[in-house]
Structure 1
């Protein structure tokens, strides 16, 4: 049963990644100029949540290198609580992005031995927060070892008092798809909310329709599944009751961080309407459609600017193209 009253805070557990882009204006035959931007799926989601106004706590392992300093600065400037995060001696994770003509990004990762995957049981025990209404995690932190299995155990404990949200954010170049498929039933058993892209769906359930995949994951234990479809919007499935939520029109600069912003918009809207805080048994399809409509606007705003730069609730970027402002609760 979701809590009533105060919406409470959301905890995000996962990695920070330095997204490396070519600066074509500065590159030439004598050298390639690169620009490093703070990213990583869970970190992007935490930033977006905090900018939307949700009290947000980030559990991450920050390297002592230059990139770790960059990550802390970005999260802190967005209003994310970092008091439970860990200082680590291992290096930061790097992802070199290659953007195609439509703004879609493909990544090459440099992640072996990085700080993000080295969680210990002691570190996670110290990070427990019974006041959070939701724990969101996923991406590489949930599947890379040695920390991934410990994060899974942490989810089981958090589930006693909080809604659990997972975004698999599949990275087949780093982790073989069969590893994801083998572990996905355990994630579904722990998760109240599963948000994934259509690309993720194709890897995790090859040959299955979206509806068939949703039914399989519902049967494994997850009541709410949201599959984002890019410019076609999102498919929502709550206990098998389904709807399509359209995406607003937007002039796309790139799609970096769009899925993470969608997740943040979804969780923010549900938290603001006091729908989180345990099992989501009282959630209705209308609640989910409302939250996903809001989330689609947040993702569209992120696509309208360069990089994973989600909007602020009261910022100047809330009006883009022909898309309306971010809808308010009750609208």
Structure 2
């Protein structure tokens, strides 16, 4: 396979992540530290920092948080020419961190910019000729824009690798809504990445291997279930492999799954494997790409917030 310079496009939301200051902070009231986030935006930033030519496709508000998003994207090298200006406010998520570094969110998302997609706004994506389109999270499930996003996936699929991350958010959308749509998404997708928390929301008590088999039957050839510090389960048309994660001192896990997906797509893009169906991946390439994804995720866990590494920062961990 030869490398392609066709870009990767990432479609979805930008979210202002407001972190509650640690207990014991002096002063009355509640102190918040607001950082740019949102699963798809985090993935786009991580891809660009690794050196993959990356477009974000997001509706960017003109409010103060929209300015925060634009600065982060520009500094990371993400292309925003496919981002329409939105008149609605940005989505806000307030995150408290548990003792294990995992974030617990409350969302302020009604009537915000991220879900209002129209077919006209999405039409320019095809002209960018992306080798892969990665999407999911809330943009793929929340009305009124979700239907237009699904139509775009179907339109691009003949020449574009489709990557999906459901990123289930039960506080905003009932898991049943994801569950009902997932077979249709699997019929469109080449790669499905979920976390073990996603799996627990979608199919409580179901073993990851059994879930992978059901998604393969629905049409997706490659499924990766990320397992936090335990690494990742890879199922490629039913052939299983467990890839361990490197050890890391966890500061928090915000954006780790998004960084993993970016690392995986980056390596596949470098190898020229993106740009169509993932029906002939060599096992060594897939194993190495997943291992690279775990390294990118680990580096993200080692710092506060969704702040994925640049390529040079990973040189010592993996080349």
- The structure 2 residue matched to 1:176, chosen from 174, 177, 193, is 174
Q: 1:206, CA displacement in angstroms?
A: 2.5
Once the two structures are superposed, the pairs formed by residues 46-195 of structure 1 within 5 Å of their partners are 46-195=44-193
Counterpart of 2:311 in 1: which secondary structure?
coil
Distance 1:5 1:36 in 2: 38
2:306 corresponds to which residue?
Answer: 308
Look up the match of 2:256: 258
The 3-state SS of whatever aligns with 2:55 is strand
Retained in 1: the 8 A contact 2:3–2:270?
Answer: no
Aligned match of 1:11 in 4, 9, 12?
Answer: 9
Report if aligned partners of 1:26, 1:33 keep a CA contact under 8 Å in 2.
no
Relative distance call for 1:25 and 1:100 in structure 2 (3 A) is closer
The Cα of 1:32 is off from its aligned counterpart by 1.4
Say how many residue pairs are matched: 319
| In 2: Cα distance, 1:41 partner to 1:58 partner | 12
Structure 1 stretches of 4+ moved >4 Å: none
Q: Sort the Cα spacing of 1:272 and 1:135 in 2 relative to 1 into closer, same or farther, 3 A.
A: same
Structure-2 residue corresponding to 1:201? 199
CA contact (8 A) 1:130 1:161 kept: no
Structure 1 residue 25, shift from structure 2 partner: 7.9
Which consecutive residues of structure 2, in runs of 5 or more, have no partner in the other structure? none
Aligned to 2:19: 21
Question: Matched residues in 2 for 1:61 and 1:281: separation?
Answer: 33
Q: 1:277 and 1:9 mapped to 2: Cα distance?
A: 10
- How far, CA to CA, are the matches of 2:127 and 2:241 in structure 1? 34
CA distance in 2 between counterparts of 1:206 and 1:130 reads 39
Distance in 2 of aligned mates of 1:22 and 1:210: 33
Question: Taking structure 1 as the reference length, what is the TM-score of the superposition?
Answer: 0.93
CA RMSD in angstroms comes to 1.4
Structure 2 residue 243 is matched with structure 1 residue 245: yes
